[in-house]
Amino acid sequence: MKKIVLVPLVLLMFVAAAPPKKDAYPRACVDCHAKERKLSTLMAKPDAALAAKLQPLAPKGVKLTGKHPAVAFAFKDVPAKCMTCHSATSKTAPQFPLLIHTIHVPDAHAECTNCHKFDGGEMRVPSGGE
């Protein structure tokens, strides 16, 4: 089911990426989350509302508190270092693609190509330090 939905979405992404225009967020996450919107700043504040919204994505038996563990090392390489804990098999944290899409896509905080870049024949999410 998931795959059937994703294939047309991925094709749409390619169409959306077609016209060559200047990319305001070449490094994705860290280029949009800059200045007062830095992730290290946003994520330092406990956020119960965000935790409640993301609770359905948590691994079985995990109750999200909205208080993120300290991850100074991860802000040096976003999202690559985030994904070490937010893996598909994590027992403590929601898996990353679901988490990130749920935060940004339904609320129109970002478009597909703000994060996914066409690179060497593939769509990739670049990673970088803030």
**Positions in the binding site for ligand HEC (CB under 6 A):** 6, 9-10, 13, 25, 28-29, 32-33, 37, 39, 42-43, 47, 50-51, 54, 64-69, 71, 74-75, 78-79, 81-82, 84-86, 92-93, 96-97, 99-101, 103-105, 109-110, 112, 114-116, 125
N-to-C CA span, the chain: 36
Is the peptide bond preceding residue 26 cis, with omega within 30 degrees of 0? Answer: no
**C-alpha separations of 21 from 16, 25, 34, 122 in Å:** 11, 12, 21, 18
Q: Which is nearer to ligand HEC, 20 or 122 (CB)?
A: 122
Q: For residue 93, what are its two tokens?
A: 């944290």
Residue (2 or 20) nearer to ligand HEC, CB: 2
Beta bridge partners of 118: 123
Smallest separation (angstroms) from ligand HEC to the CB of 65: 4
CB of 26 vs ligand HEC, minimal distance in Å? 10
User: Across-strand partners of 78?
Assistant: 128
Smallest distance from the beta carbon of 38 to ligand HEC, in angstroms? 9
